[in-house]
Amino acid sequence: MPPAVRESRRGRPRGLSRRAVVFVGRTLWNEFRGIVADPVVRLVRRGPGALLLGCVACVGVIFFHAIAQYRVGATVVRVLGGVRGDLPLWLALLRTPVSLYVPALDLPVWAGLTSLFLAFALAEVALGRIRTLAVAYATTLAGTLAARVMIAIGPGWWGLGLSPETGQVLDTGPSAAVVGLFTYMAVTRRAPVLFTLTGGSMVWESIAVPNLAGREHLVAVGAAIVLGVLHGRLRRPSIRDLLRRARERGRAPAPPRRAAGSE
């Protein structure tokens, strides 16, 4: 074997490993910049008011959890935000917005406040207030409607259907919105690590604890993926965005600055 060919074959693993390291480092850096650095810069510019949705979500969960400890308060919480699969559809849709702030009975409310605040606060800073509310409600509603479809199908259907008794299970909590917001940000910001952690944990949850909440979380992940992909396809970059991208790639020079006093 010629020495040149032997040296080239020896250099291939080193070149591939170097490319893999560069690719992983670049991916992690882009994800850090899109998920952490850019929202922090926006937060500094906008001030503490940019964390309004995160604070409101935590206060709402704490409030409903506190009043649910009393008999009258529990009745009020059930009437305002208690969603079940056996309720009429119009009543379930009417209670769904409030159900986002009603903590689930089988989960510790204090343990989920951190993830709740991070999801809403980070999404508000990175996505905006209106889009954050829209994604949170859409993913929660998708899980609620999917549960009703599964109950209507009934047991069987390769494990997709649910028994009618599942319709009496109280279906509340902001967990579907939290999962949906993290997944949506991972798709729109191209963050594979965040996407793997969110989606992988939901798949593991549905396998380890096969219940209604696990299925709704998977539906929320799927709905967030669809919303993120649609947003990326429907959003058309403006001329300013195209020029900025071209300048960053070095394909177009920066626009000339006008001299002081020139017209």
Chain centre to alpha carbon of residue 106: 22
Q: What is the pTM of this model?
A: 0.78
C-alpha–C-alpha distance, residues 211 and 67, integer Å: 27
Tell me, yes or no, whether 120 lies in a domain. yes
Whole-number pLDDT of residue 7: 47
Listed residue (162, 181, 155) closest to 100, CA to CA: 181
Tell me, yes or no, whether 204 lies in a domain. yes
Tell me, yes or no, whether 9 lies in a domain. no
Tell me, yes or no, whether 17 lies in a domain. no
Q: Alpha carbon of 179 to those of 84, 92, 105, 186, 239: distances in Å?
A: 20, 21, 18, 11, 34
How many domains does one find in the chain?
A: 1
| Residue spans of the chain under pLDDT 70 | 1-15, 105-111, 157, 159, 232, 234-263
C-alpha–C-alpha distance, residues 188 and 197, integer Å: 16
Whole-number pLDDT of residue 106: 62
Tell me, yes or no, whether 133 lies in a domain. yes
CATH code (residue 224): 1.20.1540.10
The length of the chain, given as a count of residues: 263
Tell me, yes or no, whether 69 lies in a domain. yes
Whole-number pLDDT of residue 252: 46
C-alpha–C-alpha distance, residues 258 and 263, integer Å: 8
| Containing structural domain, residue 136 | 46-242
Tell me, yes or no, whether 187 lies in a domain. yes
The H helix count followed by the E strand count for the chain is 11, 0
**Are the beta carbons of 243 and 252 closer than 8 angstroms?**
yes
Whole-number pLDDT of residue 262: 45
Whole-number pLDDT of residue 214: 82
Whole-number pLDDT of residue 261: 47
Tell me, yes or no, whether 85 lies in a domain. yes
